[in-house]
Structures are given as structure tokens and as C-alpha cells.
Amino acid sequence: MSTPIASTAPYYARYRPPYPAELYELLADRFALDGSQTVLDLGAGPGTLALALAPLVDQVYAVDTEPAMLAEGCRLAGEHGRRNISWLTGDAACLPRLCLPRIDLCVIGRAFHRMDRARVLADLDTALAPRGGVVVITSPAGEDGPRPPWWAVVEEVCARFLGPGHGARSAPGGGGAPEGVDDADDVDDEGDTDDMYDHLAKSPFSRVETIAWEQPVRYTVDQLVGLQFSFPRSSPARLGDRKDAFASELRRALLDHAPRGGYARTVPVRAALATRPRT
């Protein structure tokens, strides 16, 4: 039987908002990506970062605990001709056992809060080249201002199908989880963002620079419905035989709310670029 996270994989890859182009321009500039580097995408999911970075580097190693996510990433890599990505099943704790070559850059997208951060950073100190760096990308919870009007529509339908309180567990538009998160597998809970950066500052990669963007996102009604299936709390596995009814009811409620569609919001994206102190 498919697990909640496994069943989200195709929806995650298709409906989660991509990272802004400025992020990749920043990484290319700060780490002089010229096609010769080796990159580790830790907690890769379906390869959102790996697929975008592959054209800029020589080799990407995408590591995740969920085989379904990696399978979806591998499928997309084949579609886009990205042949320089290796898809590896494992978690951050198994990093020393992966026997990777020297890494020039490690990227962690919306997964750092689920790792043993001190241990991961210590392991990365061994794995990364002297001038290598770690980049942690988050969508900080509760920092995107007032919620758009359609947000309440999604929460109300989710609550009816999933029970009271479940509708608010993940941002309906793909950002951080605002409050009340207690699902261990809900991949959108960013945790305490300042605490994450504090771990970086106390690590061997203590030279930390943070960059933030406000990313405007606009959805069609079908995209917003599909997006809900990318969250473990409203995954196809959890909804089971109610999936089609959920989709139909959410689509109807959204169109009743805004018949012309066009559901917009702003997603905050923050990147922490951590390198070793200059000597």
C-alpha cells in the first residue's frame, strides 16, 4: 500500500511552486558553477533542485529516503535529458556510507529541519571540498503576510474531508506550515528558521549569508487542487476512495469563490549560504 509521502510524489513534482530563477543565478555566481563541480542534493524529493542545477555542474547526487520521490525525479530527468544525476536512497545519517566523491556544494531544500543538523554539518565538513559550501533553502512559516481569500476555502474543504484542524496543517499554496503542525511526515513544516541558521553559524560552515525573495505564485483551479495532493495530510493515500470527491468538492468551492479563477499568493523563499571562515 502506498504511504502518504509516496503517493504525493507525482503531485509534488508537478504542482509545488519552483524556486525562483534568482536562486540558481545566486548559486552559480557565489560558487562559480562552470560545469565542473559535483553537487549533493540532500533530502532531494523529486529533484526540484537537482534537475535545475544539473545543467550548471558536472554531477549531481540526489539523496532522499523515499524511493517514490526518487523514481519521480529519475523519470523527469529522463524527460529533460538530465543524465548527470545519480538518484540514491538514504537519509542524512547515512552520508558517510554513500562513498561519494569530494563534493563542491551541498544544497538542502525544505528538509534541514528534519535532519540531525549538527551531525549532518559535521559529516559535510568531511565530504565538502575546502572551498565548498552548504546552502539551506526554506519557505519560512508565517512570514508571508495576510493569507489570500481563497485560503479559507481550501482549509474548509480539507477540514470536512480530513477532520477539524487538518485543513491548516500545510499552507494550501505551497509555503510553510503556519501553526498546529503535528504530522511527522508533513514536509512543509519548516520549524524554527532562526534555529536552523544558528546551527549553521555554530558549525564548521560558520560564515553565513542569507538572501530572501518574495516569490509571486498564481494558480489555476486545477493547479490548486492538484497541489493539495502534494501534501501528506491530504495525499491520495490518506484520502483513499474519497480522493475524487475531495477534488470535485474543492474545485466547486474554489469556482464558487472566484468563478474566473486566478488564485495568487506570495511565497517567501530564504536561502542561507554557509561556507567555512576565510583564513
What is the model's pLDDT at position 274?
Answer: 97
What is the model's pLDDT at position 147?
Answer: 84
Task: Say if CB 176 and CB 141 are below 8 A apart.
Answer: yes
> Which of 128, 135, 75, 81 lies closest to 108 in space, CA to CA?
135
C-alpha cell at 129: 571540498
List, in order, residues 6 or more apart from 135 with CB less than 8 Å away. 27, 105, 106, 107, 108, 271, 272, 273, 274
d(CA 196, CA 108): 12
What is the model's pLDDT at position 185?
Answer: 40
**Taking the alpha carbons of 63, 67, 69, 74 in that order, is the dihedral positive or negative?**
positive
Task: Say if CB 136 and CB 271 are below 8 A apart.
Answer: yes
Residue with cell 549538527: 118
Task: Say if CB 138 and CB 196 are below 8 A apart.
Answer: yes
d(CA 162, CA 144): 25
Dump strand ranges (E) for the chain.
Answer: 38-42, 59-64, 85-89, 103-109, 128-138, 207-219, 263-275
> Which of 277, 24, 29 lies closest to 131 in space, CA to CA?
277
pLDDT 10s digit of each residue in the chain, 279 long? Answer: 578 999 999 999 999 999 999 999 999 999 999 999 999 999 999 999 999 999 999 999 999 999 999 999 999 999 999 999 999 999 888 898 999 999 999 999 989 988 999 999 999 999 999 999 999 999 875 544 578 999 999 999 999 999 876 644 455 666 543 322 223 344 444 455 667 788 999 999 999 999 999 999 999 999 999 999 999 999 999 999 999 999 999 999 999 999 888 899 999 999 999 999 987
What is the model's pLDDT at position 174?
Answer: 62
What is the model's pLDDT at position 176?
Answer: 45
